[in-house]
Structure 1
Amino acid sequence: MGGESGRVRKINRLYRSDVRRARRRLRGQIRVTPVFHTEIQGPRGPVPVTLKLEYLQHGGTFKVRGSLNALLDARPGTDSVVLASGGNAGIAAALASSLRGLSCTVVVPESAPHTKVAAMWSHGAEVLWHGTTYAEAHRFASDLARERGAMQLHAYDQPAIVSGAGVVGLEIEEQVRGRPPVLVAVGGGGLVAGIAVALGPRGRVIGVEPQGAPTLHAALAAGEPVHVDVSSVASDALGASRIGSIAMEVAQRYGVRSLLVTDDAIVMAREYLWREFRIVVEAAGAAALAAVQSGVYVPAPGERPVIVLCGANTDVATL
């Protein structure tokens, strides 16, 4: 779940070399997730696609890449971590902290799903509830980190977090021939920015957002990050109310597009993945697929887009 700190700060510009450095740091620590070449049903018939099975990552989320990268790059003597999260970032930080022998406190808003809070507990995190929005939880987490002298992680707008997530892009580059477009779900923008940085100016990265959480779409239209109201079936993971500063800079630099999909299309895509492939993902994990399946994105003739299935932290009873 995303949000903003409300502070004006210098934007750290990231490059492919930062992502390559993150990959060296993470080697042997994270899974190189596989790709699956297949066809999915589109509005006009079968569409060839490549699914990047990132939901198979440790913790069921790509976010463990960024969290672990940040902790591996932490200053000596760091012994505790604090962050705000409504879900996957908290799970990832809890898992990464346990691997590094650090204590982890996650501040969650009252709307945080029990399934995701339980996963944080399972990795040994302390979970504190504060406020009804990510922004309120983030402010509390910032104060708490200062009080405790702890390292603070951001769910998506931190250089090490974004460059760690970008390793997904380097893997895609090695696993897939040519330079097909890569469709990525967008919340706060850490994953879409990381992949865009990894692939560089020759890459084609397309963000996919729920109509009820159009952070990147609204920012691109305004020319700067702006606040949006969030109401979506995927808001527990794609619930940022403002795109991250790093993601905004990367999107403008590399011409990242934004497509909007309906909640109905996301739900249908999630159900389709289970029905046809026995793949279980959360709503956010199905958002990029929804763009192709609903016809919002129509591949060019001979094109096989890569679709990132980014997370699987969900209650399977809802399928």
Structure 2
Amino acid sequence: MIGRAAAQTGKGARDRMSVTRGDTERAARRIGGRIRRTPVFEAAPGLLFKMEFLQHSGSFKVRGAFNRVLSARERGEPTEHGVVAASGGNHGVAVAYVARALGVRAEIFVPEITSAVKVDGLRALGAEVTQTGAVYADALLASRKRVAETGALEVHAYDHPDVIAGQGTVGLELLEQTGGVDTVLVATGGGGLVSGIAAAVAGEAAVVAVEPERIPTFNHALAAGAPVDVPVSGIAADSLGATRLGEAAFEIAREQGVASVLVSDEAIARAREELWRDYRIAVEPAGATAFAALRCGAYRPREGERVAVVLCGANTDPSTLS
């Protein structure tokens, strides 16, 4: 039986491979025309928002999902049995979107904490949805059992090099659109986005992983020297609720010198409210997590530092914004 810790990591040699900028560039060519080139907004002098919440399916996740499935097809991996994914919500919505676009069946496993907005979005895209278990790791165990039964293609939420390379296209776009920044702040759960961006901007910008205090996957991995299980709770748990950072993501992020800062649920909630109040930007808690690091002082830019904040997801109930 696969334990929770093992279930958090990818399977096989490819999952242990590193990801380079070249991989992200190839991913950009592969998925070009299927994704949106999301805009960059200058919120204030030296502060840029990468508006990834405007992406298809409401989050960056569609980038990695497209790259995973299209790369698998190029390698001759079968997709006729459909795709299976475990998700806190956003990844599942992205995989369902990709499956519909590519004409394959999607089966998505989500934990019970997944918001109704995301479950409704999955079903609207035609995915078969199974809610099971308390946290993402439980859904992942169930999804892998289903893969073994059906022969469907697994599309891991964050710990596969093709997924990571796809997410890294956010960083490539950011560099092209801005002419370069000093630092990129990225909300982090399983680590796919932050490691992909770190690979894409290597040598050109620093990357900081921003994590909820109640889900410190990368922070604890850095302290331990390897991914470890952490408790999962708090307002961003349905998006950033990986029990354990991905193995591949950890190696890439550590190699690229990614730093970690932690923010409270209260800081995330205030940042989300500020984004709505001051900019009329409606994002979910995970989408506001990177911005929270600036607002609460967990990350303090140097004088003249040019900082980009990735606003990564908008799958939220707008009635919760005042």
TM-score (ref. length: structure 2): 0.93
Show structure 1 runs of 4+ deviating over 6 A.
Answer: none
1:244-274 CA-to-partner distances (Å, cap 9, x unmatched) read 1111101211110000001111000000011
Name the aligned partner's letter for residue 264 of structure 2: T
The answer to whether the Cα contact below 8 Å between 1:13 and 1:246 also exists between their aligned partners in 2 is: yes
* 8 Å contact from structure 1 (residues 161, 190) kept in 2: yes
Which of 49, 52, 66 is the equivalent residue of 1:51?
49
Measure, in 2, the Cα distance between the counterparts of 1:288 and 1:25: 28
1:73 aligns with 2:74: no
Match runs of 1:1-319 below 5 Å: 5=7, 10=13, 11-39=16-44, 48-75=46-73, 76=76, 77-79=78-80, 80-319=82-321
What CA distance in whole angstroms lies between the structure 2 residues aligned with 1:172 and 1:102?
31
Q: CA deviation at 1:193?
A: 0.4
Q: Which moved more, 1:104-113 or 1:54-63?
A: 104-113
Alignment partner of 2:240: what SS? Answer: coil
Counterpart CA distance in 1 for 2:31 and 2:192 is 17
Unpaired runs of 5+ in structure 2? none
Distance in 1 separating the partners of 2:92 and 2:280: 26
Gaps of 5+ in 1: 40-46
**Residues 3 and 188, structure 1, Cα contact 8 Å, conserved in 2:** no
Distance (whole Å) between structure 2 residues aligned to residue 132 and residue 238 of structure 1: 14
| Residue 134 of structure 1: how far off its partner (Å) | 1.5
Distance 1:193 1:4, change over 3 A: farther
Alignment partners' CA distance in 1, 2:151 and 2:63: 24
Shift of 1:143: 1.1
- Give the conservation status (yes or no) of the 8 Å contact 1:33–1:53: yes
- Kindly tell me: are residues 273 and 4 of structure 1, through their superposed partners in 2, closer, same or farther at Cα, counting changes over 3 Å? farther
Call closer, same or farther: CA 1:64–1:284 in 2, change over 3 Å: same
Q: Shift of the alpha carbon at 1:78?
A: 1.2
Give the counterpart letter for 1:22 in structure 2.
A
Contact preservation (8 Å) 2:85, 2:155 = yes
Residue 48 of structure 1 and its aligned partner are, at CA, apart by: 3.5
Aligned partners of 1:223, 1:146: CA distance in 2, in Å?
32
In structure 2, the residue matched to 1:42 is none
**Matches of 1:190 and 1:182, distance apart in 2:** 15
Count of equivalent residues: 311
